[in-house]
Amino acid sequence: MTTITRFAPSPTGRLHVGNIRTALHNWMLARKAGGRFMLRIDDTDAERSREEYVDAIREDLAWLGLSPDGEERQSDRLAKYDAAFEALKGVGRVYPAYETAQELELKRKIQLGRGLPPIYDRGALKMTDEERSAKEAEGVLPHWRFKLDHDEPIRWEDGVRGAQKFDPAQLSDPVIRRADGSWLYMLPSAVDDLDMGVTDVLRGEDHVSNTAVQIQMFTALIAAQFAAAKMPSFAHEALLVGKEGKLSKRLGSLGCDAFRERDIEPEAVIALLARLGTSQPVEPITERARLVDTFDLTTFGRAPAKFDDTELDRLNAAIVHQMDFAEVEGRLPEGMDEAGWHAVRPNLGHVCEAADWWRLVTGPIETREFSDDDRAFLMEAGRQLAWGDDPWHQLTAKLKEATGRKGKQLFLPLRQALTGMDHGPDMAELLPLIGEEGARARLAQAAS
């Protein structure tokens, strides 16, 4: 059977780093099996869904290189949910309920006050036909709940968490449809997974109890002959937390737009999130095939995965240091060629910093104040400078012999005079870019 995974964001905001990690792991799971990765836009919440966020989701996935093999939108599939609802209604697995939000909240408070779990008491099932008719005569429209089967525990073998067991009597019958006819998450998601042939559902551990409920929905839909598909396998990965070890609101707003603003490479985001929360080392790996080949749910841990900006910056710098000129040519300052990129690349944390280092070549540079001894040394450097294939090493060798200087005394005044900096790119690569005329002028200016 072809492996089919799905990423199902709601277009009510931008993707954040937790969403991105889920999308990536589903993409990797499908790619490793030679399967299909589907994008499903969960836009049944018409009031909060925005087309601009649909476009942003597509844009972010494209930037990350996570191309889906197909796309579905729940707003185009409403007839399927109606059919599933009627099928479940026909076998007695959905029922109307009339409590208001205030009445339900009061029930929860009473249960908590008695030390009981705040689950729905199935009061609606105890209503008579006359009572229901009276409610509707008053203009009270029902919302609809899925009736859980309390006869047997809900069990599944989770790809990350191992054997799972839930007592359905300790779960509330979930509301699946509002009084206005609109849908909540549970039933449409189950219908889509069956209809789209999803074989593997990989999502955050905050969905574990949802999975317990949806397993009964899958079973009921198949039993009602609404779908002939097989129930998917499930895996729930630990959620992301901040580096301080606590759930971070900031992670809920940190997404691809923020990464792009910081000039973070998409490969750095992928390299970090691919293995974050697993027993495998996080490394600056740019080969997607290598990450896919080593993807393994058995390496995922149960502890929360810690997202650290400093680690992302470290990976980004390491990946920039691997990037070829052809990959960045369009992002470099005017005039910077392959030799220039090769010279400044080891000093970069982000590609955008190349412009700052390139100014060492194009100028102007800061003119330092030198001691009398250093000025005499730099004047000698101007006399000894001879242009050839390797002017830097030729110059420093001659100066060492002529002045007896070595180490920092030899190299630092030259770097300061030629670049205005105490540190920076390899001078053997930088000096040819400055050029003979520019080098002589800078040495003369520093010596004057």
CA torsion sign, 50 to 68 to 221 to 202?
negative
Q: How many CA atoms within 13 Å lie on the side-chain side of 352? A: 7
CA 253 to mean position of chain CA atoms: 11
Residue given tokens 């110059």 in the structure block: 395
DSSP-derived 3-state class of residue 333: coil
Angle between helix 427-434 and 391-403 (nearest 10): 110
Adjacent-strand bridge partners of 165: 155
Amino acid at 208: V
Tens digit of pLDDT per residue, the chain (448 long)? 899 999 999 999 999 999 999 999 999 999 999 999 999 999 999 899 999 999 999 999 999 999 999 999 999 999 999 999 999 999 999 999 999 999 999 999 999 999 999 999 999 999 999 999 999 999 999 999 999 999 999 999 999 999 999 999 999 999 999 999 999 999 999 999 999 999 999 999 999 999 999 999 999 999 998 877 899 999 999 999 987 776 666 787 789 999 999 999 999 999 999 999 999 999 999 999 999 999 999 999 999 999 999 999 999 999 999 999 999 999 999 999 999 999 999 999 999 999 999 999 999 999 889 999 999 999 999 999 999 999 999 999 999 999 999 999 999 999 999 999 999 999 999 999 999 999 999 999 999 9
- pLDDT at site 1: 82
| 110, 260, 344, 352, 403 from 22: Cα distances, Å | 38, 19, 35, 29, 63
CA angle, corner 100, sides to 98 and 102, nearest 5? 155
Give Cβ neighbours of residue 270 (< 8 Å, ≥ 6 apart): 24, 64, 65, 288, 291
Give Cβ neighbours of residue 261 (< 8 Å, ≥ 6 apart): none
DSSP H helices in 321-388 = 325-328, 338-344, 354-362, 372-384
What is the per-residue DSSP string for 185-226?
Answer: SHHHHHHHHHHTT--EEEEEGGGHHHHHHHHHHHHHHHHTTS
Give Cβ neighbours of residue 221 (< 8 Å, ≥ 6 apart): 84, 87, 88, 190, 191, 194, 227
Cα–Cα distance, 92 to 195 (Å, whole number):
22
Match domain 363-447 to its CATH number in 1.10.357.10, 3.10.150.10, 3.30.428.10, 1.10.10.350: 1.10.10.350
- pLDDT at site 247: 62
Cα–Cα distance, 239 to 241 (Å, whole number):
7
Adjacent-strand bridge partners of 72: 40
ω into 188 cis (within 30 of 0): no
Residue spans of beta strands (DSSP E) within 56-204: 70-73, 94-97, 143-146, 154-158, 162-166, 175-177, 200-204
* Short-list 19, 113, 112, 35, CA closest to 70: 35
Asked if 345 and 293 count as a contact pair (C-beta separation under 8 A), the reply is: no
- Indicate the domain borders of the chain: 325-361, 363-447
